[in-house]
Structure 1
Amino acid sequence: MQLNIKEIFTAFMILFAVIDIIGNIPIVIDLRKKAGRIESGKAAVIAGIIMVLFLFLGKTILSFLGVGVNSFAVAGAFILFFIALEMILGITLYKQDESTTMTASVFPLAFPLIAGPGSLTTLLSLRSEYRIENIIIAVILNVIIIFIVLKTSSKIERMIGQNGINIIRKVFGVILLAIAVKLFAHNIKALFELA
């Protein structure tokens, strides 16, 4: 096992930027309102497990299913697109079932918001550059930060206020829409090049 602080820090910063948990606070607040509450620990741990499992099994699972990384990312872009539309237009496309707290903690929070196509495809590209143990530590550090942000999101909500949340929600909705479009365009282009 060769731990490298530089690799850990770089992988951590790349994942932190892609996951963008700070930018997702308006979505977290919105999900908490819909579901009543969110199990922060469960959401963070499930997201971490998904990321670590995907780090080891991602390419194998996708190739076994006959799905390329690019196809996976395009599907994820659609999910992000619809979440962004909900934020911008103030509509509800995703309907909660009866077990709303558990559902909201896992979908769409743990997956695809935290452990989404962006972070999962990033993990696959990081694996080709860095040692696996350094990436795992970077994932764990991100999970800790995700947990802290999820746990304190209601305090952040009180500080910002309802109007502030509405403004931030629309702004981040547009940003999320832009990320979805970029993810879609980049991967659909790659799909056509492969065809």
Structure 2
Amino acid sequence: MELDLKQIVTASLILFAVIDIIGSIPIIVGLRQKVGHIQSEKASIVAGILMTVFLFIGEEILGLIGIDVNSFAVAGSFILFFLALEMILGIQLYKDDAPETASIVPLAFPLVAGAGTLTTLLSLRAEFEIVNIIIAIVINVVFVYLVLKSSGKIERVLGSQGINVIRKIFGVVLLAIAVKLFATNIQSLFN
């Protein structure tokens, strides 16, 4: 186990792209409007714990219930696909029983520590030292916390029109990530 700055930076950037908390700002703002309060600390801590636990025992959990990583990734791509459709078309597919606060669901899971993130962690584990991945997780959790905490300010700066534009742009990006995740993993299922 050795610290490697290059691995930490690379793993951090990969996780940052997959978590895409900046692209989730419209979803976070929408949640805050629905429930009134976002528990930033709780959501960040739970997401960090989920990612760290999955890093160590994710493959074993999936193996235990007879699911391979590729199947998990394909399922995750569908979730991302429908989230992207919601963002692009301005419709609501995901209906929740009016949560009182937004912390664990849907913020910590599946928004931050969703199928894409968890699948990515398993991929990173094959390439990088675990200690470097854990540092990358911590860096991303801190960034997620800062974005969640300042979502109100971000909303005021951007305004509702700005939020809608960003929501549609990142919806297209999320759709592309979903398609890529699907295409990359569907081939392995048939081989």
Q: Could you tell me the TM-score, scaled by structure 1's length?
A: 0.91
Note the alpha carbon deviations across 1:30-56, whole angstroms, 9 max, x for none: 122222221111111111111000000
The answer for the alignment partner of 1:100 in structure 2 is 100
Matched with 1:36 is 36
Cross-structure match for 1:48: 48
In structure 1, what is the equivalent of residue 164 of structure 2?
A: 166
- Secondary structure at 1:128's aligned position in 2? helix
Shift of 1:5: 2.2
Higher mean displacement: 50-59 or 9-18: 9-18
| 1:17-74 Cα deviation digits (max 9, x unpaired) | 2211112211211122222221111111111111000000011000111001111111
After superposing the two structures, state which structure 1 stretch, 52-61 or 23-32, moved more: 23-32
Gapped runs of 5+ residues in structure 2? none
Please give the per-residue CA displacement for 1:103-132, whole angstroms capped at 9, x wherever unaligned: x32222211221122221121121122211
1:98 CA displacement: 4.4
The amino acid that maps onto 2:66 is G
Work out whether residues 4 and 134 of structure 1, in 8 Å CA contact, stay in contact via their aligned partners in 2.
yes
**Cα displacement (A) at 1:6:** 2.3
User: Is residue 2:70 matched to residue 1:67?
Assistant: no
Matches within 5 A, 1:99-138: 99-101=99-101, 104-138=102-136
Partner residue, 1:19: 19
Runs (5+) with no aligned partner, structure 1 = none
How far, CA to CA, are the matches of 2:73 and 2:7 in structure 1? 25
Name the CA distance, whole Å, in 2 between partners of 1:88 and 1:11.
Answer: 29
For the residues of structure 2 that align with 1:127 and 1:10, how far apart are their CA atoms?
A: 13
Report the residue type matching 2:46 in the other structure. Answer: I
Secondary structure (helix, strand or coil) at the match of 1:100 reads: coil
Matched, 1:9 2:45: no
Cα 1:17–1:96 change in 2 (3 A) is: same
Structure 1 residue matching 2:150: 3-state secondary structure: helix
What is aligned with 2:147? 149
Letter matched to residue 2 of structure 1: E
Code of the residue aligned with 1:45 in structure 2: it is I
Distance 1:7 1:183 in 2: 22
Partner letter of residue 50 of structure 1?
L
Amino acid at match of 2:65: L
| TM-score using structure 2 length | 0.93
Q: Contact 2:23–2:167 at 8 Å: present in 1 too?
A: no
Superposed CA RMSD in Å reads 1.5
Secondary structure of 2:117 counterpart: helix
2:180 equivalent in structure 1: 182
In 1, distance between residues paired with 2:172 and 2:5? 35
